[in-house]
Amino acid sequence: MGGARQIECTINGLGERAGNTALEEVVMVLNQHKDLGYYTNINTRLLNPISHEVSEIMRMSVQPNKAIVGGNAFSHSSGIHQDGFLKEAQTYEIIDPELVGAEASKIVLTARSGRSALAHRLEKLGYHYTRNDIDILYPTFLQVADKKKEVTHDDLVEMATAYSK
136 occurs within a structural domain: yes
| Number of compact structural domains in the chain | 2
Which pLDDT value is given to residue 79? Answer: 86
Q: Among residues of the chain, what percentage have pLDDT more than 90?
A: 72
Query: Could you say which of 22, 39, 73 is where a domain stops?
Result: 73
Residue 95's nearest CA partner among 79, 73, 65 is 73
Question: Domain for residue 22, yes or no?
Answer: yes
- pLDDT exceeds cutoff 80 at 19: no
User: Which one is predicted more confidently, 43 or 164?
Assistant: 43
**Domain closes at, from 12, 43, 73:** 73
Statement to judge: residues 69 and 119 lie in one domain: no
Question: Are 119 and 59 contained in the same domain?
Answer: no
Residue 89 maps to a domain = no
3-class SS of residue 106:
strand
Domain that holds residue 37: 1-73
Residue 45 counted as domain residue? yes
Q: How does residue 120 score in pLDDT terms, banded at 50, 70 and 90?
A: very high
* Residue 6 pLDDT: 81
Where does a domain end: 73, 100, 128? 73
Rg of the chain on CA atoms, in Å: 20
Structural domain contains residue 24: yes
**pTM greater than the 0.75 cutoff:** yes
Strand partners, 8: none
Q: Are residues 62 and 119 in the same domain?
A: no
Residue 15: is its pLDDT beyond 80? no
The backbone torsions φ and ψ at residue 82, rounded to the nearest 5 degrees and listed phi first, read -60, -45
